[in-house]
Structures are given as structure tokens and as C-alpha cells.
């Protein structure tokens, strides 16, 4: 029973990471209808930035929040400089540019930080409080960080004027301009937020999977699966999908398939959702009129 | 009365071709001006041109400032509110969120709250449905919401694109009445594009007639109402 | 931002083009006798990549279906050849048509669910395939066939003749000429297919899918056919590369292999046949040069070029060369 509980909690913890990354993907998809293939590599690169700070002696939480800020700025800059010009280009051009970004950040990380695996610190103590045995302090902390993040985002989008404007710009850019919203900047902010969210996901998962340039590719796959299962244009769905995929992955991996085919399961999920119900559980079903 | 908006030799269009050619218009401050014409004449395109939603050539001057080089958002921030054809409602947001978006660029919170109350006073039906998802409102309610949203900007100039479209005559009468009140009490200048020429000419002070992208006639609304050709083509008698 | 739909296939060869091709062929035949064995091997790899790029181009360039997972077909071809040669002692040249046929079927079947996916979604599905591929190839229960993590080692084939007109023909040179022959056949077949009805149908579907369907073009059939043929080409290329390298292993088939193909297509020129040669040469030789700066350098270069080409040369090097040539000749 205890192993089951442990697997469940571990699944919720990694599910939180998938949920965050899936949320970042959905945010960009909602406003631009682009799938950000580079989301994982951006998160990885941000985690390396955090690592360098910590390595240089910066206290963890200062490094943590500085990284979030830096990732935000990086996201805004990338959108304004590289993505904005291809906003309305044909799909192939857009996909190629995203793959280009993926490749650049992956190789930059390898170049600057080398390909040797590094360990990334966890800010949480070794033992879980209250003598709990079925989950580690890091898992508990990771879930906590994810929840705080989600709460913050929910509050931001629901109750602040800027959040309202960003939602409006994603849904209806033309009408948004007509109320004076600077839609271009809203898209850039969306990218910044997505990059910032990705960076927290990276920093929470790195202590578990160890830091190396290719650490996020499998995780990105799970995030894609999560976003699709939940509904690629539904933030709530993405979060739900993330936790679902995390729990499924851990339980299936522990009891059924073993750890070797886990990525293929993600692949199967993706293909299944795309062919059977592309809108996911909570997304909008779109009917195209000819 | 001073000129609020002046269009000089304005041409505009989509893609490679122009749909309006060499328009000259003067909108007087505090007036209601109507732009009439049949389907496809270029009325909607004129409003879109003023807001730089399409490419333009020629001059547009609003309160002494040139609009030509500005983006839509910047023009809106100068005080031009546009209720587009199709209403442009944020359908998945509540009515109240739509109004909040209308006042997005304003900093004076208390005045914004007062204005929102005033909108509910003009459009009591919206007050009842303030939390309702805007996409589920009826056509008339959405039109009222769109006008209210535009007014939340406290605009100097209000552009209205076919507010009567698809609405029952009683509702249209109600909306037009509210527009007159808004013009008289709040001194909002209105440029009204309409296919329903009869109602528009009753409401407006000035009128312009556009045919295949060019101005065919202009003058006081009364004058156009009496004009033989206008009566036959647009008023049906 | 221009679209990449301007390229098309010449419907017949002008005399000038024939002369060019003949000259190129002569140069290609003479080449292996002037360079080292390793260089001969590299040129053979270029030919293999070129066939793969023709395959990718048929699917993405001509038929407009984005694939980020073509490494999978390279893997199927490579492993088919390796297994047939290693377990069944089949001669290398027999494995090529077999793997081609297998990939045609697999590709066509792939194409069926892909019909429902457009643009980004198809890119996503194929991307997922590419990422999951190495793990699939390492799967314990398939180890008996695939050789697991260690892969399969193949014997390098011996040349059928060891000398010709006084020139010695070793394994590398023999395989080079074999690759040249295969490439020639594949290019000719592709050219013939694309300039005819099938090519026109594919491009119509790519550019105006709804209009194409309403004109009576059986869109689902052609799109799946494109997938099948594309897989066939890439599978043959995979088989060829397995023979050349004499080794297959799961970690050769990461997502970066699929991205390499994408790079080759973009740089060479989308929807062009000659572009496949440019692109293949590029992805074969650039890493050699850039590797000396840093292990990561080739990929940084690829990334910058991918983005740069979308901005500046959407029709690739071949397209740019064609444009420049046209300007030089004074087209208005």
C-alpha cells in the first residue's frame, strides 16, 4: 500500500511539472495558434542559468526568482524579435523557426555548460516533515510550488486588468485593438509568462532527472500529451491533463509497463487524442465551414 | 462648431485594390453625422480606414492630430471608439468583463465606476445580465453591450457600423433613442454608418452618401431627406 | 515573407539541363579515384541523405504535410536491412527493394490517421514519434531482433569486381557506385512521378485543399500515397546508410536525426529535386567542419540557419540560385 501511495504522490509531483509546462504551451497556443516546440529547451536553458547562479554562491531562492525574471525577459525578447515577424507566415515556416529555436537553445546549453550531467539542488530538506515516509520533501515542495504558481496565474488572469487584457487579446485580437489594447505586447507578455512558468518546471524537475541539455525532451512530450488530453486551448484542461498524465505515467510505469516504454505511452496518448478527439477533454470542438 | 475629424482625399482598400476613392468628409464636433449607401458601397471600409484597420492613402486629421501613421490601438487611445459591424463582442467573457475592457485604457477608476453605472442606466437589460456570458445575449442586447463598451472609453468620437442590422424595429428605435440622448447629454460626436436610411436621416444632423466608393452627395440631413434621387433609391418613395 | 510554394518540377528537361546532368554524372564517376576512402564514404552518405531528402520533400514540400519524424523511416529501412543481412544472410542489394516495399506499406498506413491532422498537429505527432523512437528501438522484448542497445553490426559487402580499366575498386568505391546507381534510379522515378498527374495533384492539395477536393481529386488517397512514397524513399536511404556504415543502433536515430533531415530540406530547397543534393551535402559536411569548434557548434549553426533561411531564403539555396540565375539573365 505504501508503494502505491508513494507512486501516487510521485505522480502528482511530476504531474505538477507537466501541468506547468502544459499550461505554458496552452498559453502560447491560445493566443497565437502556434505550438511552441522550443518550450522544453527554454525551460532547460533557464534551469542552467539558475545552476550557474547557485554554483557561483547565490542563495537558492534568490537564484530561483532571478531565473524566473530572466526567463520572462528572454521570452518577451524572443517573441518580439524572432516570432513576431513570422506570426502570419505559412505553417511550415513557423514550425521550422520553432525547431530552430529548439536546436539553438539545446546546443547553446551544451556549448556553454558542456554535456556532462550535473546535479541541481533542491531547496527542500532531505526528510519530509511529520515523519511521512511515502513522499520525499522535494515531492511535497514541488507540489507546493506548482500550487502557488497555479494560484498566482489564476488570480492574475481572473482579477487583474492586465490579465483580462491578455485573455481578450488571445480570444479576439481585432476587438482588443478597438478597446486600445496593444495586442502585440500582450503576445510578448504571454511568451514571457510561458517562459517563466517553464523555468519553474525545469527547476523543480532537475533535482530528480539531473541536469543535462537533453533532460527536457521526454518531459516536453508528456507536457504535449497533457495539453492535448486536457484540451490545447483550455488552461484548466492543461492543468488537469498534467496531473492525470503524471499519475498515469507513474502508476503504469510501476505496475504495468516498466520504465522502458514510457515515452511510447506518451506518443500513443498524443496520437490517440489527435485522431479520436482532437479537442481533448475540455477544449472547444471546432467545426470548419467550407 | 469646430471640426473634430477631417478626411481629405482618403482612399483605402484591401489587398491591391482600393474600395474607397478620394473621400472628403468633415465631422463637426457634437454632431451626429450619417454615412449612407447600399451594400458594398464602402461605408464599413470608411470606418475601418479611420481606425487604420486597413491600409489608407490620403489625410485623416482628428482634433489636429494626423491619424495616418498611427496604429489602431493608438487611434483608440486618442478617443475614437468604434463599434464594428458584427459588434465585435468578446463572446466568452461576461457582459461586465466586456465593459471593463471598454475602459481598459482609462486610469480614473472612480469615474469608470460611475460610467459603468450610467451604462446600466441607459441599458437596464445589461444590468440584469451583467454576469451572463456575452455570447449568449440576444442580438439586441449584444448591440447595446457593444455600444456601452465603446462608450466606456469616454470617447470624443463614436463610430457606429450598422447598429440596426438584424434587429427588430422596436429595439432599433430604442437604441437610436439612446444614441440621441448620449449625443445631447454627453456631447459625444457620432459618425453613424447605416443601411436603414430613413431612421438614420431622422437622427442625424449631417449626412453623406457614398456610392461605389465615392461621395455622391453631402449636406444637412434634412436636405438629403427631401432630395428626389435619395428618396427614390434609399427611402423607397 | 514569401511562401515556399513557388517551386515546381520542370515538366521536361531542356538541352542545357541534360548537359549539366551529364557533366555532373561524369564528375561523380571520376571522383572516387581522386579522394581518400573516407571521403568516398562521405560522398556515398551524401547520396543516401539525398534520397532521404527527396522522400521528405515529397511529403512536406510537394504534399504540404509536415513531418518532424522522418528518422523513423530511416530506422525502419536501416533495421530491415541489418536484420535481413545479419539473421538471414541476404545479399545487401536485395534488402533495398524489400525495405522500400515495407516502408511503402508502413508509410501509407501512417498516412491514414495523419489525414485528420493538419499543420501544427501533424508536426506535433511526428515530433512525438521522433522523440520516442530510440526508446522504442531499445525495447527489451524486441531485443532478439533489434540487438537492443548495442544494435547490429553488419559485414561490409565486397565489391563484385576489384578493378576496372586499371583502376582499383575497393569496398568503399564499389559501394559508392552502388549508391550512385540507386540515387540515379530514385531521382529519375521521383522526377517522373512529380512532373506528371500525381505531382500536380499533390501540389493542388497542398495549396488549395478544398478546391482540389471539389475538382474531384481523391485527396485522402493522394495524401496517404505521398506518405507511402515518402516513406519508401526514406526507407531505401536508411537501408543504404546501414550498408555504408555497417552498423545500426538505437541512439543513431534520435530526434536530432529527424531535425537534420528538416535542415537539409530547408537549406537545399523545399519542393525541389536538385535541392536535395545541396541539402544532403550540407548536412554531411558542415558537422565535419563545425565539429572542430565545439561539439555543439554544428547544431547552433543549424538553428541559426533554420531561422535565417525562413526570413531570407524561404526557397532554400537551390531556389536562391535559380532566382539569382534568372536575374542575371535579365528577366524583368
Per-domain residue ranges for chain B?
Answer: 3-79+155-235, 89-154
The alpha-carbon gap from B179 to the nearest alpha carbon of chain A, in Å, equals 19
Decide if A287 is inside a domain. no
CATH code of the domain covering residue A174? 1.10.3470
Contact A175 B89 (CB under 8 A): yes
Contact A261 C255 (CB under 8 A): no
- Give the neighbours of chain A: at least 3 Cβ pairs within 8 Å: B, C
Instruction: Return the HEC string of C220-259.
Output: HHHHHHHHHHHHHHHHHHHHHHHHHHCEECHHHCCHHHHH
Contact C296 A101 (CB under 8 A): no
Distance CA A80, CA C27 (A): 48
Contact C154, A288 (CB under 8 A): no
Question: Which chain A residue lies closest to B155 (C-alpha atoms)?
Answer: A179
User: Which structural domain, as residue segments, surrounds residue A222?
Assistant: 2-276
pLDDT digits (tens, 9 = 90+) for B148-165: 999 999 999 999 999 988
The alpha-carbon gap from A225 to the nearest alpha carbon of chain C, in Å, equals 9
For residue A172, the chain B residues in CB contact (below 8 A) are 88, 90-91
Residue C22 exposed, middle or buried by CB count within 10 Å (0-12, 13-18, 19+):
exposed
B93 shares contact with chain A (CB less than 8 Å): yes
Which strands make up the sheet holding B65-66, listed edge to edge? B17-28, B3-14, B55-62, B65-66
Of C4, C113, C295, nearest to A275 by CB-CB distance is: C113
Comparing A285 with C112, the larger pLDDT belongs to: C112
The whole-number average pLDDT for the span A35-60 is 94
Tell me which chain C residue has its CA closest to the CA of residue A110: C296
B38 lies within 8 A of chain A by CB: no
Portion 190-249 of A in contact with C at CB < 8 A = 217-218, 220-221, 224-225, 228
Tell me which residue in B84, B90, B100 faces A171 most closely, judged by beta carbons: B90
Is the CB of residue A277 less than 8 Å away from at least one CB of chain C? no
Start-to-end Cα distance in chain A: 55
pLDDT in tens, B67-123: 988 999 999 999 999 999 888 999 989 999 999 999 999 999 899 999 999 999 988
Instruction: Identify the band that residue A155 occupies on the pLDDT scale cut at 50, 70 and 90.
Output: very high
Q: Choose among A161, A168, A180: nearest Cβ to B90.
A: A168
**Mean pLDDT for all residues in chain A:** 89
Output the 3-class SS for C119-161: HHHHHHHHHHHHHHHHHHHCCHHHHHHHCHHHCEECCCCCCCC
| Shortest CA gap C73–chain A (Å) | 16
Residue A288 domain-assigned (yes or no): no
Task: Report the pLDDT value the prediction gives residue A16, as an integer from 0 to 100.
Answer: 93
Amino acid B133: pLDDT: 92
**In chain B, which residue ranges form alpha helices assigned H by DSSP?**
43-50, 72-77, 95-102, 109-122, 124-128, 139-151, 169-186, 197-203, 221-226, 228-230
Q: Residue A234 and residue C143: Cα distance in Å, rounded?
A: 41
Chain B: residue whose CA lies nearest to A166: B101
Distance of CA C169 to the CA centre of its chain: 27
Check residue B229 and give its pLDDT. Answer: 81
A282 is a domain residue = no
How close A241 comes to chain B (CA, Å)?
A: 22
Q: Domain tally for chain A?
A: 1
Q: How far is CA C159 from CA A266, C84, C89, C118, C243, in A?
A: 45, 19, 17, 46, 13
**Is A44 inside a domain boundary?**
yes
CB-based contact B155:B81 (threshold 8 Å): yes
Cβ C244 vs Cβ C66: under 8 Å: no
Check CB contact under 8 Å for A178 and B89.
no
Taking 50 as the threshold, does the pLDDT of residue B183 lie above it?
yes
Q: Give the residue on B whose Cα is nearest the Cα of A161.
A: B104
Q: Which residues pair with B61 in a beta bridge?
A: B6, B66
Q: Alpha-carbon dihedral of residues C11, C12, C15, C20, nearest 10 degrees?
A: 60
- Judged by CB atoms closer than 8 Å, whether chains meet at B73 and A177 is answered as yes
Q: Is residue A285 part of a domain?
A: no
Q: Give B229 to chain A, closest Cα distance, Å.
A: 36
Inter-residue contact C171 to C159 (CB < 8 Å): yes
- Closest-CA residue to C79 (of C263, C250, C285, C318): C250
Q: Residue A157: helix, strand or coil by DSSP?
A: helix
Question: What span, in angstroms and rounded, lies between the C-alpha atoms of B175 and B198?
Answer: 15
What dotted CATH number matches B3-79+155-235? 3.40.50.300
Instruction: Flag if B77 and A180 touch (Cβ within 8 Å).
Output: yes
Question: What is the residue-level pLDDT of chain C in tens, covering all 332 positions?
Answer: 334 444 455 556 778 888 888 888 888 888 888 888 899 999 999 999 999 999 999 998 888 889 999 999 999 999 999 999 988 888 888 999 999 999 999 999 888 888 888 888 999 999 999 998 888 888 877 887 888 888 888 888 888 888 877 788 888 888 999 999 999 999 999 988 888 888 888 888 888 888 888 888 888 888 888 999 999 999 999 999 999 999 999 989 999 999 999 999 988 888 788 889 999 999 999 888 887 777 778 888 899 988 998 888 766 666 777 777 777 766 44
**Does residue A219 have a pLDDT over 90?**
yes
Can you tell me the distance from the alpha carbon of A5 to that of A10, in angstroms, rounded to the nearest whole number?
Answer: 8
Residue-level pLDDT at A289: 47
Alpha carbon B142 to its chain's center: 15
Q: DSSP characters for A30-79?
A: HHH----TTHHHHHHHHHHHHHHHHHTT--HHHHHHHHHHHHHHHHHHHI
Q: Does A110 touch chain C (CB under 8 A)?
A: yes
DSSP line for C42-65: HHHHHHHHHHHHHHHIIIIIIT--
What's phi and psi for B103, nearest 5 deg?
-100, 15
Candidates A177, A179, A234, A236, partner chain B, best to mutate (most B CBs within 10 A):
A179
**Is the per-residue pLDDT at A37 higher than 90?**
yes
Amino acid at each position: 500500500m505504501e508503494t502505491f501511495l508513494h507512486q501516487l504522490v510521485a505522480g502528482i509531483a511530476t504531474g505538477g511539472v507537466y501541468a506547468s509546462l502544459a499550461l505554458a504551451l496552452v498559453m502560447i497556443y491560445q493566443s497565437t495558434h502556434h505550438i511552441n516546440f522550443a518550450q522544453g529547451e527554454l525551460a532547460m536553458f533557464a534551469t542552467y542559468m539558475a545552476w550557474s547562479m547557485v554554483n557561483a554562491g547565490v542563495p537558492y531562492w534568490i537564484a530561483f526568482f532571478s531565473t524566473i525574471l530572466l526567463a520572462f525577459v528572454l521570452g518577451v525578447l524572443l517573441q518580439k524579435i524572432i516570432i513576431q515577424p513570422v506570426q502570419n507566415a505559412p505553417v511550415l515556416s513557423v514550425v521550422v523557426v520553432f525547431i530552430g529555436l529548439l536546436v539553438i537553445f539545446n546546443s547553446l546549453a551544451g556549448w556553454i555548460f558542456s554535456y556532462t550531467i550535473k546535479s541541481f539542488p533542491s531547496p527542500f530538506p532531505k526528510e519530509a516533515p511529520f515523519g511521512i515516509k511515502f513522499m520525499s520533501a522535494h515531492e511535497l515542495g514541488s507540489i507546493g510550488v506548482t500550487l502557488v504558481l497555479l494560484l498566482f496565474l489564476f488570480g492574475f488572469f481572473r482579477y487583474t486588468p492586465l490579465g483580462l487584457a491578455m485573455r481578450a487579446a488571445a480570444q479576439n485580437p481585432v476587438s482588443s485593438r478597438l478597446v486600445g489594447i496593444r495586442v502585440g505586447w500582450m503576445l510578448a507578455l504571454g511568451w514571457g509568462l510561458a517562459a517563466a512558468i517553464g523555468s519553474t518546471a525545469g527547476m523543480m524537475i532537475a533535482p530528480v532527472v539531473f541536469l543535462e541539455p537533453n533532460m527536457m525532451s521526454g518531459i516536453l512530450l508528456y507536457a504535449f500529451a497533457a495539453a492535448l488530453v486536457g484540451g490545447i486551448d483550455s488552461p484548466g484542461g492543461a492543468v488537469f491533463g498534467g496531473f492525470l498524465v503524471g499519475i498515469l505515467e507513474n502508476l503504469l510505469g510501476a505496475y504495468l509497463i516498466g520504465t522502458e516504454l514510457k515515452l511510447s505511452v506518451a506518443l500513443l496518448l498524443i496520437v490517440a487524442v489527435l485522431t479520436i478527439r482532437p479537442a481533448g477533454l475540455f477544449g472547444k470542438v471546432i467545426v470548419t465551414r467550407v | 462648431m469646430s471640426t473634430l475629424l477631417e478626411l481629405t482625399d482618403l482612399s483605402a482598400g484591401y489587398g491591391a485594390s482600393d474600395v474607397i476613392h478620394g473621400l472628403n468628409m468633415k465631422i463637426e464636433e457634437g454632431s451626429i453625422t450619417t454615412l449612407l449607401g447600399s451594400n458594398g458601397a464602402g461605408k464599413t471600409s470608411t470606418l475601418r480606414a479611420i481606425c487604420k484597420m486597413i491600409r489608407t492613402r490620403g489625410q485623416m486629421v482628428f482634433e489636429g492630430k494626423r491619424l495616418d501613421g498611427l496604429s489602431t490601438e493608438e487611434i483608440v487611445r486618442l478617443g475614437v471608439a468604434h463599434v464594428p459591424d458584427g459588434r465585435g463582442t468578446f463572446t466568452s467573457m461576461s457582459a461586465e468583463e466586456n465593459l471593463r475592457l471598454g475602459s481598459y485604457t482609462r486610469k480614473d477608476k472612480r469615474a469608470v465606476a460611475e460610467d459603468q453605472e450610467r451604462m446600466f442606466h441607459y441599458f437596464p437589460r445589461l444590468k440584469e445580465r451583467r454576469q451572463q456570458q456575452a455570447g449568449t445575449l440576444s442580438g439586441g442586447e449584444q448591440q447595446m453591450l457593444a455600444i456601452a463598451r465603446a462608450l466606456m472609453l469616454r470617447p470624443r468620437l463614436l463610430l457606429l457600423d450598422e447598429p440596426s442590422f438584424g434587429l427588430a424595429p422596436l429595439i432599433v428605435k430604442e437604441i437610436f433613442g439612446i444614441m440621441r440622448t448620449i449625443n445631447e447629454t454627453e456631447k459625444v460626436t457620432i459618425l453613424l454608418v447605416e443601411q436603414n436610411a430613413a431612421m438614420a436621416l431622422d437622427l442625424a444632423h449631417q449626412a453623406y452618401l457614398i456610392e461605389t466608393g465615392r461621395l455622391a452627395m453631402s449636406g444637412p440631413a434634412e436636405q438629403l431627406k427631401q432630395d428626389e434621387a435619395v428618396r427614390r433609391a434609399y427611402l423607397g418613395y | 515573407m514569401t511562401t515556399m510554394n513557388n517551386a515546381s518540377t520542370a515538366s521536361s528537361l531542356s538541352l542545357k539541363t541534360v548537359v549539366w546532368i551529364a557533366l555532373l554524372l561524369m564528375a561523380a564517376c571520376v571522383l572516387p579515384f581522386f579522394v581518400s576512402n573516407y571521403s568516398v564514404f562521405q560522398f556515398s552518405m551524401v547520396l543516401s541523405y539525398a534520397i532521404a531528402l527527396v522522400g521528405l520533400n515529397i511529403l512536406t514540400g510537394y504534399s504540404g504535410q509536415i513531418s518532424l519524424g522522418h528518422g523513423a523511416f530511416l530506422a525502419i529501412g536501416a533495421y530491415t536491412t541489418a536484420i535481413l543481412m545479419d539473421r538471414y544472410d541476404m545479399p545487401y542489394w536485395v534488402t533495398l527493394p524489400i525495405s522500400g516495399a515495407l516502408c511503402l506499406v508502413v508509410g501509407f498506413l501512417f498516412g491514414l490517421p495523419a489525414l485528420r491532422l493538419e499543420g501544427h498537429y501533424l508536426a506535433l505527432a511526428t515530433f512525438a514519434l521522433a522523440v520516442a523512437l530510440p526508446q522504442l528501438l531499445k525495447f527489451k522484448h524486441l531485443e532478439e531482433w533489434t540487438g537492443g542497445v548495442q544494435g547490429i553490426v553488419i559485414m561490409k559487402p565486397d565489391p563484385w569486381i576489384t578493378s576496372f580499366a586499371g583502376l582499383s575498386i575497393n569496398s568503399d568505391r564499389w559501394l559508392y557506385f552502388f549508391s550512385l546507381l540507386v540515387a540515379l534510379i530514385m531521382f529519375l522515378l521521383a522526377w517522373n512521378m512529380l512532373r506528371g498527374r500525381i505531382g500536380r495533384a499533390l501540389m493542388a492539395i497542398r495549396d488549395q485543399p478544398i478546391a482540389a477536393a471539389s475538382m474531384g481529386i481523391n485527396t485522402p488517397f493522394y495524401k496517404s500515397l505521398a506518405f507511402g512514397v515518402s516513406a519508401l524513399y526514406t526507407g531505401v536511404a536508411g537501408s543504404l546508410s546501414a550498408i555504408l556504415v555497417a552498423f545500426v543502433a538505437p541512439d543513431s536515430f534520435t530526434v536530432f536525426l529527424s531535425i537534420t533531415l528538416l535542415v537539409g530540406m530547408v537549406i537545399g530547397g523545399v519542393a525541389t529535386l536538385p535541392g536535395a543534393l545541396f541539402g544532403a551535402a550540407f548536412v554531411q559536411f558542415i558537422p565535419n567542419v563545425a565539429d572542430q569548434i565545439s561539439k555543439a557548434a554544428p547544431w547552433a549553426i543549424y538553428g541559426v540557419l533554420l531561422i535565417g533561411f525562413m526570413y531570407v531564403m524561404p526557397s532554400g539555396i537551390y531556389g536562391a540560385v535559380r532566382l539569382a540565375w534568372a536575374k542575371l539573365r535579365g528577366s524583368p
